[in-house]
């Protein structure tokens, strides 16, 4: 019986040690990804950033972004897929269903729009933009 209890205790301690080693909850530092509110004009953002929209009230919410250089960006919806999210320039509108890669022009004003007309359970919506190391001039999907 003593051997059984010692073995059982050893197994429990081993499980606790292994479980604790998996709990590396290093939170990202605030410098890693900058988060902007949709209510602030975003000018010359960093290479990776997020925009947070307050969508607790029905209607369009507008974020205004101007990029420093002409580059290719990965644009991702981080929230629920039912939220309508799109980008506008002066001529066109591009709906972002989940994520899209677009070449965006430097010095040009873009409007990112989040809309929650149907779902009252949502209060915030995040989107993330990440600069990609792709050639702007040869990239076909310019917006």
The percentage of residues in the chain with a pLDDT greater than 70, rounded to a whole number, is 78
**Do the beta carbons of residue 71 and residue 129 sit within 8 Å?**
no
Least confident of 13-22, 30-39, 46-55, 90-99: 13-22
Q: Residue 32 has which token pair?
A: 């890693």
Nearest CA-CA partner of 84 in 59, 115, 112, 52? 115
Handedness of CA 95, 99, 105, 106 (dihedral sign): positive
Q: Residue 70 has which token pair?
A: 């002409």
From CA 75, how far away is CA 3, in angstroms rounded? 59
Q: Residue 98 has which token pair?
A: 């989940």
Whether pLDDT at 28 is above 50: no
pTM for the full predicted model:
0.75
Specify the pLDDT at position 76. 97
Confidence class for position 2, pLDDT limits 50, 70, 90: low
Confidence class for position 96, pLDDT limits 50, 70, 90: very high
């Amino acid at each position: 019986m003593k051997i059984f209890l010692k073995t059982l205790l050893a197994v429990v301690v081993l499980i606790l040690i292994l479980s604790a080693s998996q709990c590396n909850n290093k939170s990202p530092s605030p410098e890693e990804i900058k988060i902007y509110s949709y209510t602030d004009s975003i000018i010359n953002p960093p290479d990776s950033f997020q925009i947070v929209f307050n969508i607790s009230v029905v209607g369009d919410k507008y974020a205004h972004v101007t990029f420093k250089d002409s580059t290719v960006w990965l644009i991702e919806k981080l929230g629920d897929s039912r939220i309508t999210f799109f980008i506008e320039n002066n001529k066109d509108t591009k709906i972002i269903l989940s994520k899209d890669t677009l070449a965006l022009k430097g010095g040009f004003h873009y409007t990112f729009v989040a809309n929650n007309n149907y779902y009252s359970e949502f209060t915030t919506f995040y989107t993330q933009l990440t600069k990609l190391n792709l050639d702007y001039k040869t990239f076909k999907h310019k917006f």
